Structure 1
Amino acid sequence: MYGLIGRMMAAPGQREALLTVMQEGQVPMAGCLSYVLARDPGSEDGIWITEVWDSKQSHAASLHIPEVRETISRARPMIASFAEQFETEPVGGVGI
């Protein structure tokens, strides 16, 4: 399995709008076992994204799905930065 945990910073005051765009753009993605969006309680603009995929290749392929590309395009103006990103190797858990 392949995992990503990332912290994104929304442009000031844009976190809720960015979360809305990201949620509206969610579609089934082959190989995606879990995709979680969360507010960072320690930052007014922070968002955590936690992903679990069956493989790194499935994650890469998801970036070519038309709806995902459209969501990225709509979200980009509301993103200030990608503050942190960590790759992980999930071994199991609830819902996986």
Structure 2
Amino acid sequence: MSDPSGRVGRYVRMTARPGQGAALAETLLRVADGLRGAPGCELYVINTSPDEDDVVWVTEVWADEEASDRALSGELGEVGIGDVLELLAGPPELVDLTPLGGAGLSR
């Protein structure tokens, strides 16, 4: 089922270098602060994994693919993406989604 609004969603699983999970979470919270008010960013939530100390999940919802691309390419200014990459043990794992609605999302 596709979203006629064009919204895109994503779960991103990031694994930090050993012992760096808390630093990764703090850095991602800075990224999230930098995205407040960013055009097209509807949701950017940082989550920790209760049973994996070095794993951090990001839940994203964007108005459209262009807004997501703009944010990830750095056009929104320096929000700490480089700092995030330095803490990672490997590439992030992405799960692309089609948001349909729900509590916290306007229709």
- Pick the TM interval, shorter chain: 0.7 to 0.9
Determine whether 1:65 maps to 2:76: yes
Instruction: Name the structure 2 match of 1:50.
Output: 59
Q: Compute the RMSD of aligned alpha carbons.
A: 1.3
- Counterpart residue number, 2:90: 81
Once residues 24 and 66 of structure 2 are traced to their aligned partners in structure 1, the CA distance between those partners, rounded to angstroms, is: 26
Q: State the AA in 2 paired with 1:49.
A: V
1:2 equivalent in alignment to 2:13: no
Once the two structures are aligned, what percentage of the paired residues are identical? 32
Q: Does 1:11 align with 2:12?
A: no
Instruction: Give, as a single letter, the amino acid of the residue that structure 2 aligns with 1:20.
Output: E
Residues 1:34 and 2:40 are matched in the alignment: no
C-alpha separation between the residues in 2 aligned to 1:74 and 1:7? 16
| Structure with bigger gyration radius | 2
Deviation at 1:95, TM superposition (A): 1.2
| Residue deviations 1:21-76 (CA, integer Å, cap 9, x gap) | 121232222111111111112312111111011101110011222123xx011222
C-alpha distance in structure 2 between counterparts of 1:32 and 1:16, whole Å: 24
Matched length: 94
Gaps of 5+ in 2: 1-6
So what's the TM-score if we normalise by structure 2?
A: 0.80
TM superposition score normalised by structure 1: 0.88
Structure with more of its chain in strand, by fraction: 1
- State the Cα distance separating 1:83 from its structure 2 match: 5.0
Q: Which structure 1 residue ranges, 4+ long, deviate > 6 Å from structure 2?
A: none
- Find the residue that maps to 2:68 and give its secondary structure: helix
